[in-house]
Amino acid sequence: MRMLGRSLMGLLLSCAMGGADAGAANLRWASDGDVNAMDPMTRQETMQLSFLSNIYEPLIRRNRDLSLEPALAERWEQTSPTIWRFHLRQGVKWQDGSPFTADDVVFSLQRIQSKNSSMRAPMSPVKEARKIDDFTIDLETHLPDPILPQEQTNFMIMSKAWSEKHNAVEPAVIGKEENFALRHAMGTGPFRLVMREPDRRTVVERNPGWWDTPTHNLDRVEFNVIGSAPTRVAALLSGEVDMIYAVPPQDIARIRQTPGLKIIQNPELRTIYLGFNLSREELASSDIKGRNPFKDVRVREAVALAIDEPAIASRVMLTLGRPTGLLWGPGVNGYDQAADIQFKLDPARAKQLLTEAGYPGGFRVGLDCPNDRYVMDEQICTAITAMLARVGIKVDLNAQTKTKFFTKILAPNYDTDFWMLGWTPATYDAHNVLYTLLGTRDGKRGEVNVGGYSNPALDELIRQMGVETDPAKRTRMIADAASVVRRDVAVLPLHQQVIAWAAKATVELAQPADNTFPYRFVTVK
């Protein structure tokens, strides 16, 4: 554990600021899993990026309604089809008091595009960052990119000098390497890290030198990891914590009826889906030797026809899920309700397809699933296991904490045969889903293409929509891509979640549809 005490001068500054500081408050909240690392360039995972966005900042950020607004860049414009010019905010200080400049942006682009970064995909369209002067940079893209401002809202800028001083010029691979940035943080944002106890507690305090005018009144935020759902709910009911992130569906009514507490509930942009390993000639977890059953599209379709997703959404998730046939839902650019066609439950047809594919007795396979990341994640995987057993597919469920789960299945390991994962497109555009989850892996594209799916026709559609500036043409390309994904059963979309948080009535907060928790929107009465 490392604790960075706040200096007396910092305390005096904090008290002297007035405004939002008057009546400053503390917030204690809990979730079922921890943030994987303090380095914002190590993993494309909502919980991690959400937490770190309170410390680090991008050039352009998202507001309460997810619309774009200036952050470390005051304004931006295109000077040519492939060049975006960003005018940086002057007077911004890093939390160690040093000035923020264009050098930090150039360094951060090089760092996020390094081989160890798992955040390369959103910034992969960028060819180069060029410093024009201390407060002006150009980002040149390989090809015209119509949505670059949306793509870089998770491009969190790091201090060049701090990273060099602490030998953290490149990100470390979580679970394989260590460096200073994995356990420490130093940004320009509204809060600064003061305590980090992995898998237990992380504390941030107000940054008195933040460039923006605070609308929150928080002086200190304590994030606690409470893996047990009953214990987490009990902590809220007893007043031990002020808010819990991810409420067990079975406890929603009880909390709603408790005086002094409230439920905050809204639809989420994230889609939960099942993936298949298509790169292995033989599945390590299967009893079928010399063949990979999932390489046959009939087997993948059989899986789809064996799963009763409406039953999962209504009975397992207690209506906190919206069944879907697409990898992106309402609120994501490119969503088309007419194309949102789900596979209908048909166990008899599933058995027939397995027989046609050469597996009349079914087969055995392992299923990797988190047990602390999504709404009722382990319970959903347990239900899927039972449903697949009815058609002869015997599933060995491996439910694990998200830290172990992500390290196992994501780059660079891709160590899984069959898994459940969730994805929120960072750009709120279907291109991000296709490029990141289903494009052929090439070092940039397909970074979270865990199963190694590859279809040249889809790759070409992804390439075209990435540079197409005509909205109507681009929408048609997205629809064509959705058809390819469905025909191939490249992955199996299950549902979009409904976010359910609970808090004391005295806590006012924003609940964006991307399931982030920005402290800068919180006030405690």
Q: What digits encode the pLDDT tens for the residues 63-72?
A: 998 999 999 9
Q: Is 109 helix (H, G, I), strand (E, B) or coil?
A: helix
pLDDT exceeds cutoff 60 at 462: yes
Please report, rounded to a whole number, the percentage of residues in the chain having pLDDT higher than 90.
89
Confirm if 356 and 389 have CB atoms less than 8 A apart. Answer: no
Which residues on neighbouring strands pair with residue 368, listed in sequence order?
Answer: 398, 419
How far is the C-alpha of 525 from the C-alpha of 515, rounded, in Å?
Answer: 23
Homologous superfamily, domain 2-12+24-228+506-524: Periplasmic binding protein-like II (3.40.190.10)
Query: What integer pLDDT is reported at residue 139 of this predicted model?
Result: 98
The closest of 365, 378, 385, 339 to 451, measured between CA atoms, is 365
CATH code for the part of the protein at 268-498: 3.10.105.10
pLDDT given at position 246 = 85
Q: Which residues, in sequence order, are CB contacts of 441 under 8 Å at separation 6+? A: 447, 449, 452, 454
For 468, residues 6+ apart whose C-beta sits below 8 A from its C-beta are 146, 474, 477
How far, in Å, CA of 434 to CA of 493, rounded? 13
What's the CA gap between 367 and 165, in Å, rounded? 43
Contacts of 219 (CB under 8 A, 6+ apart): 14, 21, 24, 25, 26, 205, 206
Mean pLDDT, all residues of the chain: 93
State mean pLDDT over 444-450: 94
Cβ-based burial of 408 (10 A; exposed 0-12, middle 13-18, buried ≥19): middle
Contact call for residues 491 and 327 (beta carbons, < 8 A): yes
Tell me the C-alpha distance between 518 and 509, whole Å: 8
pLDDT at 23: 65
Distance between CA 440 and CA 435 in Å, rounded?
Answer: 8
Tokens 């990797």 -> residue: 368
pLDDT at 108 over 60: yes
* Pair of tokens at residue 458: 């889809």
Q: Give domain limits for the chain.
A: 2-12+24-228+506-524, 268-498
pLDDT band at 3 (very low <50, low <70, confident <90, very high): very low
Residue 247: partners with Cβ closer than 8 Å, 6 or more residues away: 233, 255, 263, 500, 501, 502
Averaged pLDDT for residues 267-275: 95
| Range name among 3-17, 276-290, 319-333 with the lowest pLDDT average | 3-17
Q: What is the pLDDT of residues 384-416, one digit of tens each?
A: 999 999 999 999 999 999 999 999 999 999 999
* Mean pLDDT calculated for residue range 362-372: 97
The pTM assigned to this predicted structure is: 0.80
pLDDT the model gives residue 443 = 87
Residues in the chain: 525
DSSP classification of residue 47: H
Say which amino acid occupies 438.
Answer: L
Phi-psi map region of 443: left, alpha, beta (phi>0 left; psi -120 to 50 alpha) = left
Cα-trace Rg, the chain: 23
Phi, psi of 340 (to 5 degrees): -85, 70
Amino acid sitting at position 221: V
Query: Residues 108, 59: contact at Cβ < 8 Å?
Result: no
Flag whether pLDDT at 12 surpasses 50: no
Rounded alpha-carbon distances, angstroms, from residue 363 to 29, 395, 396, 414, 426: 44, 9, 11, 22, 36
364 sits in which H/E element: strand 363-370
Whether residue 412 is preceded by a cis peptide bond, meaning omega within 30 degrees of 0, is yes
Q: How many CB atoms lie within 10 A of CB 401?
A: 18
Pairing of strands 25-31, 218-225: parallel
User: In the predicted model, is pLDDT for residue 5 greater than 60?
Assistant: no
Domains 2-12+24-228+506-524 and 268-498 share a fold: no
According to the model, what pLDDT value does residue 168 have?
A: 97
Give 69's contacts (C-beta < 8 A, 6+ positions apart): 60, 61, 62, 63
Q: How far apart are alpha carbons 118 and 346 in whole angstroms?
A: 38
Helix axes 347-356, 297-306, angle to 10 degrees: 160
Determine which helix (DSSP H) or strand (DSSP E) holds 321, and give its type and residue range.
Answer: strand 321-323
CA 513, chain centre distance (Å): 12
pLDDT level of residue 469 (50, 70, 90 thresholds): confident
Q: How does DSSP classify residue 255?
A: H
What was the pLDDT predicted at 118?
A: 86
Per the CB < 8 A criterion, the answer to whether 525 and 506 are in contact is yes
